[in-house]
Amino acid sequence: MSSTKVTRSLAVPKPSISTDSHGNSSFNRPITIFSDFDGTIFLQDTGHILFDNFGCGPEKRKELDSMIGTGEKTFRGASEEMWGSLNVTLEDGFVKMKEELVMDKHFKEFFDYTIKSNIPFNVISAGLKPLLRHALDEFLGKEKSAKIGIVSNDATISRDGSEWIPIWKHDTELGHDKAKSIQDFKMSVSGEIPLIVFVGDGVSDLAAASQADILFARQGLALEEYCIKNRIPYIPYESFADIQDELENLVVGNKHHDASAKKLASRPSYMRTSSTSQVPVESSRNMKPSMLSAYVS
């Protein structure tokens, strides 16, 4: 399916989240972001870079990938073969990753915006934690990287690089069931359950899509195709700048994330007239019509 066709057939999203179970507006809830890593924050796949350079090679990798597609192998089984084929030290693997990885060109600006707006940002990935953390440290600096939670598989890697053994987060065919991780997060929250914003691109994100309140799918890729096929509401994006535009619509006037809205909410009610309102009604960035309307009945 071409990306143009995918985008054109977008007009299907159904309303889903205008209010929560308490009747509160979804748009005035605390927000938490979960984002896929490979193909989403970075345009490449950390595993592919390593497999192609230090392991089974691109042909075998593609063969194993297609066996996942046909059901001949599970994601976990095929992945264990790919990781098991590596013979490279972690340090040498990092050098190659640094050479080849390209971060989404608007991610840094986007991430700064989430920090400014006090929105927790978490990576949720089918990849291996040491690689993900290292890439974030390299591209964002350790101080900012430390603000990002990582929910992923882990790994045991021998010092000489001859053994790479994934430690799967869940005992399932996927190894990491992202839907379960988001459900576990919701269960762990003691107060109001946050509005879950999920950002992804591919096959490993399909299960998580059902757990998101607002879903962003990279244009023209497998997650978007899945959403269209299954009539799941989503917002397409080309870069994190598109996501930031939409996120600003959720933040402006939101008492949890907009400092001016917080100030207003703390005033006595008799002072909260329209003439004293300091809530900006429109973001300067937001010149395009918002696609969040797909989520409002």
Active site residues: 36, 38
Which residue number is nearest to Mg ion in terms of Cβ? Answer: 39
* Least spacing, CB of residue 212 vs Mg ion, in Å: 15
Residue whose CB is less far from Mg ion, 39 or 175: 39
- CB burial of 49-77 (b: ≥16 within 10 Å; e: otherwise) equals bbbbbbbbeeeebeebbeebeeeebebbe
* Least spacing, CB of residue 34 vs Mg ion, in Å: 12
Q: Of residues 201, 213, 242, 246, which one binds Mg ion by CB under 5 A?
A: 201
* Least spacing, CB of residue 199 vs Mg ion, in Å: 10
Q: Of residues 127, 166, 194, 202, which one binds Mg ion by CB under 5 A?
A: 202
User: Widest CA span of the chain, in angstroms?
Assistant: 70
* Least spacing, CB of residue 181 vs Mg ion, in Å: 15
With contacts defined by CB under 5 A, name the span among 8-16, 169-177, 201-209, 253-261 that binds Mg ion. Answer: 201-209
- Using DSSP bridges, classify how beta strands 31-35 and 195-200 pair: parallel, antiparallel or unpaired: parallel
Distance CA 122, CA 34 (A): 5
Provide CB contacts within 8 A for 229, sequence distance 6+.
none
Q: Of residues 36, 213, 242, 248, which one binds Mg ion by CB under 5 A?
A: 36
* Least spacing, CB of residue 132 vs Mg ion, in Å: 12
Residue whose CB is less far from Mg ion, 223 or 291: 223
Q: Of residues 38, 213, 242, 248, which one binds Mg ion by CB under 5 A?
A: 38
Provide CB contacts within 8 A for 283, sequence distance 6+.
245, 248, 249, 252
With contacts defined by CB under 5 A, name the span among 128-136, 200-208, 257-265, 270-278 that binds Mg ion. Answer: 200-208
> HSE-up of 210 (CA within 13 Å, CB side)?
10
Residue whose CB is less far from Mg ion, 105 or 285: 105
At residue 135's C-alpha, the angle toward residues 133 and 138, to 5°, is: 110
At residue 131's C-alpha, the angle toward residues 50 and 157, to 5°, is: 75
- 39 contacts Mg ion (rule: CB under 5 A): yes
Enumerate the β-bridge partners of residue 103: 42
Distance CA 76, CA 175 (A): 6
Size of the site for Mg ion (CB under 5 A): 5
Residue whose CB is less far from Mg ion, 132 or 155: 132
Residue whose CB is less far from Mg ion, 52 or 201: 201
Residue whose CB is less far from Mg ion, 201 or 258: 201
Instruction: Dig out the tokens for 86 from the structure.
Output: 């590596």
* Least spacing, CB of residue 90 vs Mg ion, in Å: 22
Distance CA 197, CA 214 (A): 5
Beta strands in 83-212 (DSSP E): 121-128, 149-157, 164-167, 195-200
- 213 contacts Mg ion (rule: CB under 5 A): no
- 245 contacts Mg ion (rule: CB under 5 A): no
Residue 14 DSSP label? P
Distance CA 194, CA 2 (A): 34
Site of interaction with Mg ion (CB under 5 A): 36, 38-39, 201-202
